[in-house]
Amino acid sequence: MESAERVQTPQGRAQRVTAAMVASRAGVSTATVSLVANGKTQGRVSEDNISRVRQAIAELGYVVDGIGSSLAKGVSSIVILVAPDISNPFFAKVIAGVREALGSDYQLLLSVTDAGEFPQADDVRKLLALRPAGLLVDAPNALFLEELSVTGPLVLLDAPGLEAYAPSVNLDVAHGARELAAHLAESGHTRVAYMDSVTGTATFDVRRAAFLDEARARGVSVADDHTVSTTIDVGAAAAAFAAAWPVWQRAGVTAVVCGTDTHAYGVLQEARVAGVRIPEQLAVAGFDDLPYSATSNPSLTSVHLPATPLGLKAGEQLRGLMEGRVLEQPQVTLESSLVVRGSTAQVAGNAGSLSAH
């Protein structure tokens, strides 16, 4: 056969190779091309025709349009996971859990944003043109869900207070936040700073509010000018701490709580540069309990959030919806817990019922 040539459109762009073009080149029907391309030839297509179709496919560079085929059936095997600020290492474990739950029957597509930015409903709606089998949304807010207005299978992850919108798998971040406030109070800290995320999602609002409420109830002060917000990035957190520490130090701040472990790593990094002794001069704590937190220097006190189980359970819930099953428990909450390590010190008294892990 002669070598394949791309057909040029009036605009000069190469035309997409179709099954009909392959069929014409091989001298067979488009149905035969479909059978060969999808591996369904046994007992249905002769070896000669299989060989001719495969040669035509190779010459023309034909690629099976799996999405188009799925759209013709009304739905694809794609599952979309919408997540803000995937730079946070916490999401790697969430994704692993989702992937395990979905298995090989579904393909996971990630819709992510730049650091510090929240997903836009318009952008996600463009992806819905792929007619995904289901949608997972991590750490959304109410406005996003209202603008998105999804009608197909939908499960929310880490979406406290938004249970009315869809089945959800949440983390009891408030419990861990209260444990952390109690630990610092019982360790003798009375002036604490807070480093937050700029993402503006509900989960960060809940963990901050729960910590501040418990701290206030226990006589721990967190002044407005002792709160800063940055993207979930070690460098950004280090720079924010470097700028804030002189003011915090003069005010008598002896502990800083970070909205994520990633923020806390930045504080620990800059504290070493500035000669701030951890935990003697400043106690540092975070949220997420990432793997590195147990081996950092010093090891980091953190609120443990079960990332992999979060993804796994959400994936299981969504799979049930996609396969037409009624969920026995549409709303699931996973526990958080405080893990006390070397980065927080007992300034006075003792840690009460909180023991080191």
pLDDT per position as a tens digit, 262-317: 999 999 999 999 999 999 999 999 999 998 999 998 999 999 999 999 999 999 99
* Segment 175-231, tens digit of pLDDT: 999 999 999 999 999 999 999 998 778 889 999 999 999 999 999 999 877 899 999
Q: What is the pLDDT of residue 357?
A: 36
3-state secondary structure the chain: CCCCCCCECCCCCECCCCHHHHHHHHCCCHHHHHHHHCCCCCCCCCHHHHHHHHHHHHHHCCCCCHHHHHHHHCCCCEEEEEECCCCCCHHHHHHHHHHHHHHHHCEEEEEECCCCCCCCHHHHHHHHHHCCCEEEEECCCHHHHHHHCCCCCEEEECCCCCCCCCCEEEEEHHHHHHHHHHHHHHCCCCEEEEEEECCCCHHHHHHHHHHHHHHHHCCCECCHHHEEEECCCHHHHHHHHHHHHHHHHHCCCCEEEECCHHHHHHHHHHHHHHCCCCCCCCEEEEEECCHHHHCCCCCCEEEECCHHHHHHHHHHHHHHHHCCCCCCCCEEEEECEEEECCCCCCCCCCCCCCCEC
By CB neighbour count within 10 A (0-12 exposed, 13-18 middle, 19+ buried), where does 25 fall?
A: buried
Q: What is the pLDDT of residue 140?
A: 82
Residue 62's pLDDT band, with cuts at 50, 70 and 90, is confident
Residue 85's pLDDT band, with cuts at 50, 70 and 90, is low
Q: Is the pLDDT of residue 159 over 60?
A: yes
Q: What domains are there in the chain, each with its CATH number?
A: 19-64 (1.10.260), 73-171+308-334 (3.40.50.2300), 173-305 (3.40.50.2300)
Residue 101's pLDDT band, with cuts at 50, 70 and 90, is very high
Residue 353's pLDDT band, with cuts at 50, 70 and 90, is very low
Average pLDDT over the chain, rounded to whole? 85
Residue 115's pLDDT band, with cuts at 50, 70 and 90, is low
Residue whose entry in the numeric block shows the structure tokens 């008294």:
349
Q: What is the pLDDT of residue 161?
A: 86
| pLDDT: which is higher, 51 or 14 | 51
Q: What is the pLDDT of residue 225?
A: 79
Lowest-confidence region among 15-29, 217-231, 321-335: 15-29
By CB neighbour count within 10 A (0-12 exposed, 13-18 middle, 19+ buried), where does 275 fall?
A: exposed
Claim: this prediction has a pTM higher than 0.75? no
Q: Is the pLDDT of residue 1 over 90?
A: no
Q: Is the pLDDT of residue 119 over 80?
A: no
Q: What is the pLDDT of residue 65?
A: 54
Q: What is the pLDDT of residue 117?
A: 66
* Segment 221-260, tens digit of pLDDT: 998 778 999 998 999 999 999 999 999 999 999 999 999 9
